[in-house]
Amino acid sequence: MSVQAYRLEDGGRIDRTAPLTFRFDGRAYAGYRGDTLASALLANGVRTLARSFKYHRPRGVLTAGSEEPVALVQVGGDPATTVPNVRATELELYDGLEAFPQNCWPSLGRDVGVVNDALARFLPAGFYYKTFMGPPLNWMRFEGAIRAAAGMGRSPTAPDPDRYEHVNRHCEVLVIGGGAAGLVAAREAARTGARVILAEETGALGGGLLAGAPDAVTIDGRPAWAWLAEIEAELRAMPEVTLLTRTTGTGWYDRNWVTLAEAVLDHLPPAARDPRLPRQRLWRVRAKAVVLATGAIERPLLFHANDRPGVMLAGAVRAYLHRWGVAPGRRAVVATNNTDAWRTAFDLAAAGVEIAAIVDSRARPDERLLARAQALGLPVRAGSAVVAAKGRSEVRGAVIARADGGGREDVACDLLVVSGGWAPNLALYAQSKGAIAWDDDLQAFRPQPNGAAARFAGRAAGAFDLAASLRAAAVAGAEAAGIAPEHVPEVADDGVAYALAPAPKPQGGRVFVDLQNDVTTKDIRLAAAEGYRSIEHAKRYTTLGMGTDQGKTSGLNGVATLADTLDKTIPEVGVTTFRPPYKPVSFGAVAGRQVGELFHPRRTTAMHEAHVEAGAVFELVGDWLRPRVYPQAGESFDDALQRECRAARSSCAVLDASTLGKIDVKGPDAREFLNRVYTNAWMKLAPGRCRYGLMCNEDGMVFDDGVTACLADDHFHMTTTTGGAAGVLAWLEEYLQTEWPELKVYLTSVTEQWAVASICGPESPKLAAELFDDIDADPQAFPFMSHTSGHIADVPVRVFRISFTGEVSYEINVPARYGLWLWRLIEARGAKYGLTPYGTEGMHLLRAEKGFIIAGQDTDGTVTPLDLGMRWAVKNSADFIGRRSLFRSDTARPDRRQLVGLATADPATVLTEGAQVIAEPAERSGRTPMIGHVTSSYFSPNLGRSIALALIAGGHGKTGATVHVARRGAAPVPAEITATDFLAGFGERP
């Protein structure tokens, strides 16, 4: 294990009494509790953490936060819990942590993909674009190589064992960001008693103050870190304040609906994770007001080889010094265009790091800074810029050039600290369509608040001096809660006001703008030259800002490069659209608890227990679990299906039909209403009778069907398909409320009120007679398509003499609580008649033998009642929904696809449902015209042959003709077009 050679003697918010061991790239290292993976690796002198995406160049640590573009690692080796693309700068160290570098093979040091770097001129901007948009062969030729070489780590390959949760909250004020500004804003808002939620991305409150010495500034007379502890305690004592750490604002949607991603357990060793807690939470917050205290992101400088490990942002270096007690180098060059990076130089010097040069592109840096540098003996190069980093794999030096064209100077260093200035972090705000505007003094975009919803605190407001920043915070917090600010903190700092000049322009070489996607200035210039002159187009062409970091550190440099190429200003070029999430959110957090059994509620019928006992195979129909078939011991699915279907026609069978949609339709206009919504006539249906009906949309296409019974002149019991029940009710309500409010009709869903057992078969009248107390079951006395009420063992029942199988049937409805009892009673009494439970598969087969349609299987939203051959169900006497569409020129075409039967020449061949029907016996090379498709197909045990239904162009006029059904990898199957009622056509019974 290596020593932590770059760890400072003391300081940092790490617990030096809690040493941790971890592994990276197969080696063991030591760190401390409080470290991130990045800080611990830097402490150990490890500077190369990754290989870049496209050129496989070595990459190190650029930042100290979630904006990190390149220090991405794979965490954990378990195929179920491994996480790719984790920013080492955010990953809190724990004992036993194992992380792996990405994008390298076979190892970080010996990566063969580096050949891409040598071949860079063959991988220009737009390479992917051109490959995708070119002839399909291009992509096919390159796909293997691209997929092998690209990619950003490995996805887990086994199911995620962790638990995730969603939390829904309302609050008056939501503060995003837990730096000093966020804390001040929250305190002001909370004074009113308002519900305040503050979300801080890292594990500690303090933000930028943690990237400075504990006493670098004083706030209200207290050293910075002491003040932080006090305000945190103050907020924690307020009952309406919720402080969330490790929680990132990821999405800002309409009306202040904000999502926060909280990493609850990720910072703990797996063995120490409380099993009662979720791994992550997704907070879904509806806030009256949002205060953005999201801070600022530092802009890198553009120069040759600016991607070398050892090039780090100035603010990040300061954070490693003070928050983690790490000096990430021995000899540093600090290159900047602004005042702030000088503080990093001073702090590095104080930590014992040799400062080779402070390079400021401004000709006249502030006197106070110059005086301090001189006092500390730090060499200063004003009016100069770094134009190149030196070093083959890591930084070994910098080339400094004078802006006035004077001489160049090579300076040795192992740390190249850069700062192109700070830009307010407005990604979340911009997601909410918030307006931003270019500020020339700031050389950055700043928010242009255009509504009361968004307020800005701290550096997010464009206030870069602490006093102004906290003043903005107090105002934002107070105003968000509807009051005036009370407590504006007093700040004492070094008194150097933030100032900067425009970032120096690069002087050629390989200058990286987007370090994650390997986009160079040359790529952006090429995009512009090829006509992609809008930033949105250039972005897509070059993939600038399209990595997992969404260009947080590269966006502004990309815009600046394009602006420079086009000879425009930055505001003229503008910025790309910001989209959620602000940073990667796990699929687990998005899904929450809605996975596995909880993904979708399952509904079960009153008889479910009996089906489970009988060993039923279930299927999901709508939300319902329905028995599909009841295989007996040793019986195959198909054998069981054939047995069930034989029983239904030879003895007696029972189906759980409880899931059919049931709607109680009541009111003086109920009959008129039914007449308008069904395609057939309802005005003369007598009480006690039932009728089958079809429903169409206004486009004339069938969408549901079912039998409706007339209970009384103003009272009907409607049934719908199982899956269509909710949709039909909503559709009926819509017409009642929006088109025909004058109709007095009341609709009530009664699906769950009734449990339904449907018995059918030649023996079913005997069984029914045994069951009924007071109903004459004789099919003559209780005729087909009628219904009645009565009792079974004194339990009230409604019985409908309707049939979906073509056999004599009794559909027995009981109050749902008697459902299981009824099912068991039927099984007990029916045993001697050979009663056989059958499932949905048998129901489908039995109805197909009769040629009855299933809406949604034999129809697909393009099929009219006439296409189905159901002219008999279309009335002429009155209008109904969709009627006019049946006479549109297109719906009246004779060559529409029409429902027919298909009988294969070989009765043993069962067609594949969905198979395409062609007119010719063999497929042509090229495209063979398709004339239809198979909608239903079975082997019928009662007919001893295969049967199928199909929609075929002009099919109604082609009875007896032979068509061919295409198969994959085999010759088409010849089949004859028949009528749809196979029992009538082939069977003995009419």
Partner 1 sequence: MLLVPCPNCGERDQSEFHYGGEAHRTRPTAPETLSDDEWADYVFMRTNTKGVFAERWCHTAGCRKWFNALRDTGSDAFLAVYRMGEEPPRLGGEEKEEAPADEAFA
**Which residues are at the interface with partner 1 (CB under 8 A)?**
253-255, 257, 286, 451, 698-699, 730, 733-734, 737-739, 741, 879, 883-885, 887-889
Q: Which is nearer to partner 1, 268 or 726 (CB)?
A: 726
Residue from 185, 516, 436, 464 nearest 298 by CA: 464
Q: Which is nearer to partner 1, 255 or 924 (CB)?
A: 255
Minimum distance from residue 749 beta carbon to partner 1 (Å): 11
Do strands 617-621 and 624-629 pair parallel, antiparallel, or not at all (unpaired)?
Answer: antiparallel
Q: Which is nearer to partner 1, 252 or 852 (CB)?
A: 252
Structure tokens that stand for 572 in this block: 């003229």
Distance, in Å, from the CA atom of 726 to the CA atom of 719, rounded to the nearest integer, reads 11
Strands in 491-492's sheet, in edge-to-edge order, are 222-223, 218-219, 491-492
SS3 assignment, position 6: coil
Contact 87, 61 (CB under 8 A): no
Strand intervals (E) in 232-344 = 241-244, 247-253, 257-263, 280-292, 296-298, 311-313, 331-336
Distance, in Å, from the CA atom of 182 to the CA atom of 185, rounded to the nearest integer, reads 5
Residue with token string 């189905």: 868
Minimum distance from residue 718 beta carbon to partner 1 (Å): 18
Q: Which is nearer to partner 1, 136 or 741 (CB)?
A: 741
Minimum distance from residue 741 beta carbon to partner 1 (Å): 6
Residue 526 identity (one-letter amino acid): L
Distance, in Å, from the CA atom of 251 to the CA atom of 429, rounded to the nearest integer, reads 9
Distance, in Å, from the CA atom of 670 to the CA atom of 748, rounded to the nearest integer, reads 12
Helix H segments across 663-741?
Answer: 670-677, 725-734
Cβ partners under 8 Å of residue 178, min gap 6: 198, 199, 200, 201, 202, 205, 206, 207, 243, 245, 293
Structure tokens that stand for 783 in this block: 């005729």
Q: Which is nearer to partner 1, 157 or 889 (CB)?
A: 889
Residue with token string 């401004």: 362
Minimum distance from residue 753 beta carbon to partner 1 (Å): 18
Q: Which is nearer to partner 1, 9 or 890 (CB)?
A: 890
Residue with token string 């700043």: 446
Cβ partners under 8 Å of residue 41, min gap 6: 24, 29, 47, 49, 61, 88
Q: Which is nearer to partner 1, 536 or 733 (CB)?
A: 733
Q: Output the CA–CA distances (angstroms, integers) from residue 617 to 210, 595, 922, in the order listed.
A: 61, 22, 38
Q: Which is nearer to partner 1, 334 or 663 (CB)?
A: 663
Strands in 408-412's sheet, in edge-to-edge order, are 384-390, 397-402, 408-412
Q: Which is nearer to partner 1, 737 or 780 (CB)?
A: 737
Distance, in Å, from the CA atom of 919 to the CA atom of 931, rounded to the nearest integer, reads 7
Q: Which is nearer to partner 1, 170 or 236 (CB)?
A: 170
Torsion, CA 425, CA 429, CA 431, CA 432, rounded to 10: 180
SS3 assignment, position 128: helix
Contact 964, 953 (CB under 8 A): no
Q: Which is nearer to partner 1, 378 or 701 (CB)?
A: 701
Minimum distance from residue 737 beta carbon to partner 1 (Å): 4
Q: Which is nearer to partner 1, 363 or 730 (CB)?
A: 730
Minimum distance from residue 451 beta carbon to partner 1 (Å): 8
Residue from 271, 264, 324 nearest 95 by CA: 271
Query: To which H or E segment does residue 771 belong?
Result: helix 764-771
Give the 3-state DSSP-derived string for 344-379, with helices as H, strands as E and coil as C: HHHHHHHCCCEEEEEEECCCCCCHHHHHHHHHHCCC
Return the bridge partners of 629, or none.
Answer: 617
SS3 assignment, position 911: coil
Minimum distance from residue 595 beta carbon to partner 1 (Å): 19
Contact 253, 81 (CB under 8 A): no
- How many C-beta atoms lie closer than 10 Å to residue 920's C-beta? 13
Question: Residue 165: left if φ>0, alpha if ψ -120 to 50, beta else—which one?
Answer: beta
Q: Which is nearer to partner 1, 17 or 737 (CB)?
A: 737
Q: Which is nearer to partner 1, 787 or 883 (CB)?
A: 883
Minimum distance from residue 151 beta carbon to partner 1 (Å): 33
Q: Which is nearer to partner 1, 741 or 969 (CB)?
A: 741
Contact 295, 177 (CB under 8 A): yes
Structure tokens that stand for 182 in this block: 């966020």
Q: Which is nearer to partner 1, 734 or 776 (CB)?
A: 734
Q: Which is nearer to partner 1, 422 or 880 (CB)?
A: 880
Minimum distance from residue 700 beta carbon to partner 1 (Å): 9
Distance, in Å, from the CA atom of 494 to the CA atom of 343, rounded to the nearest integer, reads 10
Distance, in Å, from the CA atom of 423 to the CA atom of 49, rounded to the nearest integer, reads 26
Q: Which is nearer to partner 1, 274 or 890 (CB)?
A: 890
The CA-CA-CA angle for residues 841, 846, 848, to 5°, reads 95
Structure tokens that stand for 132 in this block: 């995708």
SS3 assignment, position 216: coil
Minimum distance from residue 730 beta carbon to partner 1 (Å): 7
